[in-house]
Amino acid sequence: MTRTFRSVTLFWICTWALAVGPSDAQGAALKLDGPLIEQLTGLKGTLNEEEGVFKVTAPRTDLKFAIDDWAMPPFMGLTTWAAFQAGKAESAMIMGDMVLVEDEVNPVLSVLLDAGLSVTALHNHFFFDDPKVYFMHIGGEGSVETLASGFRKALAKVQAIRAAQPKPVRTFGGPAIAATNAITSKVVEEALGAKGQAKDGMFKAVIGRKVEMVCGCSVGKEMGVNTWAAFAGTDDLAVVDGDFAVLEDELQPVLKALRGSGINIVAIHHHMTHETPRMLFLHYWGKGRSQDLARGVRSALDAQAVVAKSVKPDHPVKPQ
């Protein structure tokens, strides 16, 4: 082989290599600034070059957890984490899971929403846990700075709560709800904008939705596809609990509206499989004046309606 032929061959090999470039995962890894993510989150991380993911972790070592009377090490599933990957519509995306106790859940949820991240699920992973532990799954798209800083704010909120109260609180606080219920139905109906039923001084309204199951059957309110709100106590000091049936694009606006009204989120999950359209359910709990609570639920219904009007079946809106 002549020197000229070798030079030409080498030239074309190099040209081909530059044109092909690294794999998508490698390219994603190259775009992520691991040291910056570590700096912004305050956590050490690792890079998975094959998947192009940079992941930071924070084991819950500040509390002692027992599952089924067994002292559970963080390694067995009590570690908060966030994973970053280069995005397409945005420069980066984040997915993660936060290990939280009950008095941390709603303050952290509000911090995440205010920081522009999405909360996608809230549920338990264990039975017979002490203290009771919940897992908040998060997501989002945007700049690395926005996503990592938002996650850091959520971590800082947990630290602030535990610094002020080392032992987790087992109640929402505030005055006790009266044992005898005396809710004025008309007051709630007018604020809620929905009719309901009264029973023994309590009030409940149920709003149905429709989905189609895999069998082609249409199911609605009586089969469990519904949003509901139940009120007990008195008009001056009431409790509301309920469930919102939301489409995926409606979840974040409804969460924001409820939290903006001081209503607590206690679960986010699914109730069915293979339904069309995909329906998620979020459960909530609030205390206060019955009229204020009803207005808070109404604000979430209004936020849900705004999204529903703006969404076309083939053009879902970007989660807010």
Residues in the chain: 320
Residues 234, 155: one domain?
no
Identify the domain boundary among 164, 194, 217: 164
Q: What is the CATH number of the domain that holds 294?
A: 3.30.70
pLDDT score at 219:
97
User: Do residues 25 and 129 share a domain?
Assistant: yes
Do 95 and 191 lie in a common domain?
no
C-alpha atoms less than 13 angstroms from C-alpha of 136 in its C-beta half-sphere? 25
* CA 105/CA 107 separation, integer angstroms: 6
Residues 157 and 196 reside in one and the same domain: no
Asked if 135 and 203 sit in the same domain, the reply is: no
Per-residue pLDDT of the chain (320 residues; tens, 9 = 90+): 455 444 444 444 444 444 444 445 444 444 689 999 999 999 999 999 999 999 999 999 999 999 999 999 999 999 999 999 999 988 999 999 999 999 999 999 999 999 999 999 999 999 999 999 999 999 999 999 999 999 999 999 999 999 999 999 999 999 999 999 999 999 999 999 999 999 999 999 999 999 999 999 999 999 999 999 999 999 999 999 999 999 999 999 999 999 999 999 999 999 999 999 999 999 999 999 999 999 999 999 999 999 988 865 444 444 44
**Are 41 and 123 contained in the same domain?**
yes
Count each helix (H run) and each strand (E run) in the chain, helices first: 8, 17
Residue 114 forms part of a structural domain: yes
- Inside any domain, residue 53: yes
Same domain, 236 and 292: yes
- Statement to judge: residues 111 and 158 lie in one domain: yes
- C-beta separation of 40 from 152 below 8 A: yes
How do beta strands 197-199 and 133-142 pair? unpaired
Domain boundaries, position 216:
185-310
- Residues 284 and 193 reside in one and the same domain: yes
What is the per-residue pLDDT for 208? 97
Query: Is 63 in contact with 101 (CB distance < 8 Å)?
Result: yes
Q: What is the predicted pLDDT for the residue at 310?
A: 81
Tokens matching residue 44: 């050490």
Enclosing H/E stretch for 48: strand 45-48
Which of 131, 164, 197 is a domain's end point?
A: 164
Q: Determine, yes or no, domain membership for 319.
A: no
Q: How many domains does the chain have?
A: 2
Shared domain check, 227 and 159 = no
The CATH number given to whatever domain includes residue 143 is: 3.30.1460
Q: The tokens 């984040």 sit on which residue?
A: 94
Residues 191 and 247 in one domain: yes
What does pTM read for this prediction? 0.87
Contact 265, 106 (CB under 8 A): yes
Query: Residue 7 domain-assigned?
Result: no
* Residue 169 falls inside a structural domain: no
> What per-residue confidence (pLDDT) applies to 300?
98
In a domain, 316, yes or no: no
- For residues 103 and 58, membership in a common domain is answered with yes
Residue 278 lies in a domain: yes
Residue 177 lies in a domain: no
The pLDDT value recorded for residue 280 is 98
Name 320's Cβ contacts closer than 8 Å, sequence gap at least 6: 252, 253, 256
Phi, psi of 249 (to 5 degrees): -70, -15
Whether the bond between 22 and the residue before it is cis, its omega within 30 degrees of 0, is no
